[in-house]
Chain A
Amino acid sequence: MTAIDRRLLLAAGFYAGLAGLALAQAPAAAPPATTAAPGETRFITVSSTTSTQDSGLFGHILPLFKAKTGIEVRVISQGTGQALDTGRRGDADVVFVHARAQELKFVEEGFSLERKPVMYNDFVLIGPKGDPAGIAGTKDIAAALVKVQERAAPFVSRGDKSGTHIAELALWKVAGVDIEAKKGPWYREIGQGMGAALNSANAMGAYVLSDRGTWLSFKNRGDLVISVEGDKRLFNQYGVMSVNPAKHPHVKFDDGKLFVDWLTSPEGQKAIADYKIDGQQLFFPNAQQAGA
């Protein structure tokens, strides 16, 4: 055996050792634990929407929850549709979104045992200062949308099946505009999150529907201002659901339930109400309101 052969043998041994290590790691990494082993970080995974993340709400309330329970909340922020799918696949323990009908469907399909209302904020129609549709300062969202469509003023749609996108489509329906038939070059579906949509609207001088929270914390406003607000139909309800362990046995149901219960408890509700940007409250807790 030559020195080179020894080196080759050594390399082979090294790789065999690595493979062994990897194999040994695999089962170690696979405890279907519903609660963390001692010494490990106790955490749950929450799939939520871009609006809760981008508005900074989580940055405010999650440290409070962790201080109380020791549970770290890992938030994946996605569009509502995608966030629900993440829950369906079992990749999240709790889903926290804003599209009531779809949330109820999620429960109906058995992916969660119960949906609980948490809070609401409202949508606002954002538009350029120049106001090409002539709707600035009005309160009737349906009438405003009709004008946007009639004048073919640039309009940015999320186009990503998010809660905001679903709300936007519902508002077109309320306004009596068949957006599928009427949309033209003025109607721009970008397929991205709320922040990206606001960035696009700023760049294009377009109208865009946004949740108020994201708008208030958004920094790259440029010429954008609020065009329409205050219509009851712009109401935006958030709900929370823990994933059903009957569908996905590995989910951390107990810790997830702790989070859901805390969010809807007086303590959690107060934490939500306390979150303000420039003195403006972003979300309004309403866990006790029946039918929300």
Chain B
Amino acid sequence: MRDIASILPLSVDRVSFTGEGRKLVDVVSFAVPAGGLTVLLGPNGAGKSLTLRLCHGLLKPSAGEIAWANGAAGRVKRHAMVFQKPIMLRRSVEANIAHALAAAGISGIERRQRCGAALDRFGLGERAAQPARLLSGGEQQRLAIARAWALRPELLFLDEPTSQLDPAATRQIEELLSGLVAEGITVMMSTHDLGQAKRLANRVLFLHRGRLVEDRPAADFFAGPLAPEARAFLAGELIW
């Protein structure tokens, strides 16, 4: 599957999304090339989560276009998503991973191998037979990432993956994400945690009220954002 043309860069072209009569995402355009970790930054209600869902295909844009480099993404997606609150099936840790693989059409020996690899890679081997819903919050998010990783995505979306975790679990997840980037997986995540954005991001997309107000390399953005909203956000002033 790796030898076929890459789905990246992803191009988001003048995409809007209207809900409840309001423009929740307002003519947003950007591209995601292969590699690196892009952070969607912004206060609550900026449209970060919606943008991720639009990219992943969970929502249809009201206007504009989302295109993958290889044209139609094909039957099997090569991008995966991890949600703010981990969605754990009422099954064992291993069965959670196996289920996602089955849904992607992977069966037999390959499914078992990929399951085993994901459990090892994310340190869940000992938990394999336990009910997923009895794991701690941090472990659940780790399983959610392992489950997504087993699908071998080129691009991984994460929606505020650590907002419900304690600092120790947060650090663990952040290390995992750095590892994924090092492995060559392109990561795009939303957060409203400035420190996290500083620690992880190569690039920042700053959203405010559904509009993309700044799109710059992370170092430049944190050195001195251009948009007044971004400056206010960095200064810790709540803006809505």
- Give the B-binding residues of A (Cβ under 8 A): 1-5
Q: Which of B44-52, B81-89, B102-110, B118-126 contacts A (4 or more CB under 8 A)?
A: B102-110
Q: Give Cα A3–Cα B76 distance, bound, in whole angstroms.
A: 13
- Give the A-binding residues of B (Cβ under 8 A): 102-107
B106 to chain A, nearest CB (A): 8
CB-defined contacts of A3 to chain B, threshold 8 Å: 102-103, 105-107
Of the A-B pairs whose beta carbons lie under 8 Å apart in the complex, a sample of 14, sorted by A's number, is: A1-B105, A2-B102, A2-B103, A2-B104, A2-B105, A2-B107, A3-B102, A3-B103, A3-B105, A3-B106, A3-B107, A4-B102, A4-B103, A5-B105
B132 to chain A, nearest CB (A): 19
CB-defined contacts of B106 to chain A, threshold 8 Å: 3
Majority secondary structure of chain B interface residues (helix, strand, loop or mixed): loop
Q: Give Cα A44–Cα B210 distance, bound, in whole angstroms.
A: 79
B177 to chain A, nearest CB (A): 28
B152 to chain A, nearest CB (A): 15
The chain B residue sitting closest to A6, CB to CB, is B107
Q: Give Cα A67–Cα B152 distance, bound, in whole angstroms.
A: 76
A23 to chain B, nearest CB (A): 33
B96 to chain A, nearest CB (A): 15
CB-defined contacts of B105 to chain A, threshold 8 Å: 1-3, 5
A243 to chain B, nearest CB (A): 58
Q: Give Cα A2–Cα B75 distance, bound, in whole angstroms.
A: 10
Q: Give Cα A4–Cα B101 distance, bound, in whole angstroms.
A: 10
A69 to chain B, nearest CB (A): 60
A6 to chain B, nearest CB (A): 8
CB-defined contacts of A4 to chain B, threshold 8 Å: 102-103
CB-defined contacts of B107 to chain A, threshold 8 Å: 2-3
Q: Give Cα A2–Cα B106 distance, bound, in whole angstroms.
A: 7
CB-defined contacts of A5 to chain B, threshold 8 Å: 105
B236 to chain A, nearest CB (A): 47
Q: Give Cα A3–Cα B105 distance, bound, in whole angstroms.
A: 6
Q: Give Cα A5–Cα B103 distance, bound, in whole angstroms.
A: 8
CB-defined contacts of B102 to chain A, threshold 8 Å: 2-4
Q: Give Cα A16–Cα B104 distance, bound, in whole angstroms.
A: 26
Query: Which 6 pairs from chain A and chain B are nearest by CB?
Result: A2-B105, A3-B102, A3-B107, A4-B103, A4-B102, A2-B103
Q: Give Cα A1–Cα B104 distance, bound, in whole angstroms.
A: 9
Q: Give Cα A275–Cα B106 distance, bound, in whole angstroms.
A: 75
Q: Give Cα A3–Cα B102 distance, bound, in whole angstroms.
A: 5
Q: Given A3-B106, A4-B103, A5-B105, 6 other A-B contacts at CB below 8 A?
A: A1-B105, A2-B103, A2-B104, A2-B105, A3-B102, A3-B107
The chain A residue sitting closest to B103, CB to CB, is A4
Of the candidates A1, A2, A4, A5, the one having the most CB atoms from chain B within 10 angstroms of its own CB is A2
The chain A residue sitting closest to B102, CB to CB, is A3
Q: Give Cα A4–Cα B106 distance, bound, in whole angstroms.
A: 10
The chain B residue sitting closest to A7, CB to CB, is B102
